């Protein structure tokens, strides 16, 4: 087990700087997800922790001890990748035993450790099979078992389940979480999938453009995003953004709707000034006049997802979505009033670009 600290950590590839002097502390036994779009610096950060990439500047500490100069295999770090690369000519048992044999562990201990981890990871019936006969979910479990059998102090996972289908992903996600609960390793999990990050992690480190945007609990990242980037990247369905103007103190105008800002947000609004971005999650708005913060709009489409509906409404030029109980419907063009939960109105400085697209591929 280890506590991991980064101080002014920088990664450069030639003239290109991928990570811009970031700082973080990951507690012993903590499960942290590094979340961000491709090119945000999340994999570079993880590879520097593993020792697979050199550190361009700054330092990484394990339990307060600098590891910059320590070779990967001496850091006692285990890694699992999306590409699980099992050794195909040998059995599952031998695959799991491999790192122990390489480390010169004696035969009896190897057998005990392999059987022990196989039991915990529900692999016992598969031990004598060859990798080619496994399903992708099983192969992934073998790969995780092989990484864990050395009892590493830090366990790093780089998009380990992004190639699995939805059902397998669900299952593996829970499995990884239960591994963490069972073994208690410090775990760092790199992903571009916000749902996975929120579901799994004790804390989520949201990265973009080589910088940490926020490092906090899933609940805080969701309800109190630090900036527009985090607000937009986290949450399903995606958050609604509006441009606002503020002519009078404590008041904003969104698409012609005048809104009195809750007392608690006024100092913040004062700092933002006359223009900014308001944001509300689809779960924190409802139809009808149930809150003093209201927007008028026209219905676009109602999606029936059975346990709830998602309703799209055009508020002026802005299309918003809201999550409602399954009995609510809005017809196309129908005039509606949307109420915003005052505790969940978020105000930010103006957005740089209106359309922020984070293409996955």
Interface mask (CB under 8 A) for another protein, residues 94-133, using x and -? ----------------------------------------
Q: Using only the alpha carbons of the chain, give its radius of gyration.
A: 24
CB count in 10 Å sphere of residue 65:
10
| Token digits of residue 207 | 């990265």
Among 52, 310, 337, 341, binds another protein (CB under 8 A): 310
Among 54, 133, 219, 260, binds another protein (CB under 8 A): 219
Q: Closer to another protein at the Cβ: 45 or 321?
A: 321
Alpha helices (H) in the chain, listed in sequence order: 42-50, 92-102, 107-120, 136-148, 166-183, 194-200, 218-223, 228-233, 266-272
Give least dist CB 102 to another protein, A.
Answer: 32
Chain centroid offset of residue 163 CA = 16
Give least dist CB 358 to another protein, A.
Answer: 4
Stretch that binds another protein, among 66-74, 104-112, 243-251, 281-289 (CB under 8 A): 281-289
Q: Residue 133: in which H helix or E strand, if any?
A: none
Q: Is 11 in the site for another protein (CB under 8 A)?
A: no
Q: Is 236 in the site for another protein (CB under 8 A)?
A: yes
Interface mask (CB under 8 A) for another protein, residues 178-197, using x and -? x--x------------xx--
Q: Is 165 in the site for another protein (CB under 8 A)?
A: yes
Using left for φ > 0, alpha for ψ between -120 and 50, and beta otherwise, residue 255 falls in left
* DSSP per-residue letters across 148-183: HTT--SEEEEESTTTTS-HHHHHHHHHHHHHHHHHH
Distance CA 65, CA 40 (A): 27
Q: Pseudo-torsion of CA 143, 45, 62, 52, nearest 10°?
A: 60
Q: Is 198 in the site for another protein (CB under 8 A)?
A: yes
Give least dist CB 186 to another protein, A.
Answer: 17
Q: Is 339 in the site for another protein (CB under 8 A)?
A: no
Give least dist CB 218 to another protein, A.
Answer: 4
The answer to whether 338 and 297 are in contact (CB under 8 A) is yes
| Token digits of residue 343 | 């505790």
Give least dist CB 184 to another protein, A.
Answer: 11
Distance CA 337, CA 89 (A): 65
Q: Closer to another protein at the Cβ: 71 or 354?
A: 354
Q: Is 174 in the site for another protein (CB under 8 A)?
A: yes
Q: Is 84 in the site for another protein (CB under 8 A)?
A: no
Among 166, 248, 352, 353, binds another protein (CB under 8 A): 166
3-state secondary structure of 131: helix
The answer to whether 55 and 11 are in contact (CB under 8 A) is yes
Q: Is 306 in the site for another protein (CB under 8 A)?
A: yes
Contact positions with another protein (CB under 8 A) in 24-43: 37
Q: By CB under 8 A, name the binding residues for another protein.
A: 37, 165-167, 170, 173-174, 177-178, 181, 194-195, 198-200, 218-219, 222-223, 232, 234-238, 281, 283-284, 300-301, 303-307, 310, 312, 319, 321, 323, 332, 355-361
């Amino acid at each position: 087990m280890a506590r991991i600290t980064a101080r002014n950590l920088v990664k450069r590839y030639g003239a290109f700087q991928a990570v811009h002097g970031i700082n973080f502390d990951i507690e012993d036994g903590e499960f942290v997800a590094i979340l961000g779009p491709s090119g945000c610096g999340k994999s570079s950060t993880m590879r520097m922790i593993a020792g697979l990439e050199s550190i361009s500047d700054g330092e990484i500490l394990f339990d307060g001890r600098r590891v910059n100069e320590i070779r990967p295999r001496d850091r006692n770090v285990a890694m699992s990748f999306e590409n699980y690369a099992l050794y195909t000519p040998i059995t599952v048992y031998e695959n799991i035993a491999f790192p122990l044999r390489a480390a010169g562990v004696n035969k009896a201990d190897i057998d005990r450790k392999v059987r022990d981890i196989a039991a915990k990871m529900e692999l016992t019936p598969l031990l004598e099979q060859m990798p080619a006969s496994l399903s992708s979910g099983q192969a992934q479990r073998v790969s995780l078992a092989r990484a864990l059998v050395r009892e590493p102090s830090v366990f790093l996972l780089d998009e380990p389940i992004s190639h699995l289908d939805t059902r397998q992903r669900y299952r593996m996600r829970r499995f990884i979480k239960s591994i963490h609960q069972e073994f208690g390793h410090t775990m760092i999990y790199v992903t571009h999938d916000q749902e996975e990050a929120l579901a799994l992690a004790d804390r989520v480190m949201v990265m973009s453009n080589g910088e940490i945007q926020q490092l906090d609990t899933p609940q805080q990242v969701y309800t109190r995003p630090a900036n527009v980037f985090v607000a937009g990247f986290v949450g399903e369905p995606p958050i609604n953004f509006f441009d606002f103007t503020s002519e009078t103190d404590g008041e904003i105008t969104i698409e012609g709707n005048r809104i009195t800002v809750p007392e608690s947000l006024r100092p913040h609004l004062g700092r933002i000034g006359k223009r900014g971005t308001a944001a509300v999650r689809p779960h924190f708005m409802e139809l009808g006049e149930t809150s003093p913060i209201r927007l008028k709009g026209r219905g676009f489409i109602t999606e029936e997802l059975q346990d709830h509906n998602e309703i799209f409404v055009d508020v002026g030029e802005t299309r918003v979505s809201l999550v409602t109980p399954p009995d609510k419907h809005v017809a196309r063009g129908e005039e509606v009033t949307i109420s915003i939960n005052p505790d969940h109105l978020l105000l930010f400085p103006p957005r740089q670009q209106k359309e922020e697209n984070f293409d996955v591929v």
